[in-house]
Amino acid sequence: MQKIIIIDDEAAGRQLLREYLEDFPDLIVIGEANNGVDAIRLIREFKPDLIFLDIQMPGLNGFDVLTRLDEMPLVIFSTAYDKYALKAFEVHALDYLLKPYTRDRFSIAVQKALNSLQHNLNSVQSLTESLLTPESSYPEKILVQIGAKLVTVDLAEVIWIDAEGDYSKLITSKQRYLSNYGLGALEKKLDPRRFIRVHRSAIINLAFVQEIQKQISSYDVILQNGEVVRVSRGYMENIKRLTY
């Protein structure tokens, strides 16, 4: 069974989604919202696998909702406006249903979601052992969602991690990845022997520190890729603990 939340400010739109979802008994609607604030509350509380999300709503719009989530479910946008399609896929939406859509078009979107959910489950199960080292409970690799797929990121290659709103940006020498986790949540999953928080918006990998320059009341961390990360006052002790 997969958990679904419907978010649409129009009752007719929510009713149509419920009707079409009757063709998929494994998808269970666990909540509905007609505005962005209630949508965020429901998603945080029930952690759905998939949400159907309208874009233009009173108060917070659909994109506002996504930026305020710590964990991102699969997203299918359902909207009467085609001008947001490009932005929808930039935030890794699985599909974009343009109202009015047919039952067949809806079924295509849902089947895509079911395939993605099954793929994610298989990926997690098959990689569980390889993602953990025998000596540690901290992963050596993590899965990051890009569009409808998950890609493996080797944490040993992550130079530093930068806060990106409610998300986190993992920076390697070859590519930058966007994690659905906020920096605080991601920090808890990282080995503190390798990764240290130096700013409310930055975590560094000690393996890539070239040097640390002491300033008047702080430090600047010079990384091997040439980037400079400032150590804020609240995290200076993390640097001092490494000094001998």
Position 136 in a domain: no
Number of domains in the chain: 2
Residue 222, pLDDT score? 94
* CA–CA gap between residue 25 and residue 184 (Å, rounded): 37
Residue 135, pLDDT score? 46
DSSP 235: G
Position 134 in a domain: no
Calculate the average pLDDT of the chain.
87
Per-residue confidence band for 62, with pLDDT thresholds at 50, 70 and 90? very high
Write the DSSP string, 126-192: HHTTTTB-TT-SSBSEEEEEETTEEEEEEGGG--EEEEETTEEEEE-SS-EEEESS-HHHHHTTS-T
Q: What is the pLDDT of residues 130-147, one digit of tens each?
A: 444 444 578 888 888 776
What's the mean pLDDT in 48-67?
92
How many residues belong to the chain? Answer: 244
* CA–CA gap between residue 176 and residue 188 (Å, rounded): 20
> What CATH number does the domain containing 32 carry?
3.40.50.2300
- Looking at the fold, whether 11 and 74 belong to one and the same domain comes out as yes
Is the pTM of the predicted complex or chain greater than 0.75?
no
> What CATH number does the domain containing 150 carry?
2.40.50.1020
Q: Is the pLDDT of residue 212 over 80?
A: yes
Q: Which residue among 102, 126, 150 closes a domain?
A: 126
Position 147 in a domain: yes
Q: Residue type for 114, please?
A: L
- Looking at the fold, whether 117 and 14 belong to one and the same domain comes out as yes
Position 150 in a domain: yes
Domain range enclosing 46: 2-126
Which carries the bigger pLDDT value, residue 148 or residue 157?
Answer: 157
Which carries the bigger pLDDT value, residue 156 or residue 89?
Answer: 156
Residue 124, pLDDT score? 46
Longest dimension (CA), the chain: 67
Span of 20-24, 37-41, 166-170, 195-199 with lowest mean pLDDT: 166-170
The alpha carbons of the chain give a radius of gyration, in whole angstroms, of 21
In the chain, what are the helix, strand and coil shares in percent, each to the nearest 5? 35, 30, 35
What percentage of the chain reaches a pLDDT higher than 70? 92
- Looking at the fold, whether 202 and 108 belong to one and the same domain comes out as no
What percentage of the chain reaches a pLDDT higher than 90? 54
Q: Which residue among 101, 126, 151 closes a domain?
A: 126
Q: Which residue among 126, 155, 172 closes a domain?
A: 126
Residue 86, pLDDT score? 84
Residue 48, pLDDT score? 93
Q: Is the pLDDT of residue 122 over 50?
A: yes
- Looking at the fold, whether 47 and 93 belong to one and the same domain comes out as yes
Residues 6+ apart with CB under 8 A from 183: 161, 163, 168, 197, 200, 201, 202, 203
* CA–CA gap between residue 39 and residue 62 (Å, rounded): 9
- Looking at the fold, whether 72 and 187 belong to one and the same domain comes out as no
- Looking at the fold, whether 113 and 226 belong to one and the same domain comes out as no
- Looking at the fold, whether 34 and 106 belong to one and the same domain comes out as yes
- Looking at the fold, whether 32 and 90 belong to one and the same domain comes out as yes
Q: Beta strands 2-7 and 27-33: pairing type?
A: parallel
Residue 179, pLDDT score? 86
* CA–CA gap between residue 106 and residue 170 (Å, rounded): 34
Per-residue confidence band for 220, with pLDDT thresholds at 50, 70 and 90? very high
Position 131 in a domain: no
What's the mean pLDDT in 49-66?
92
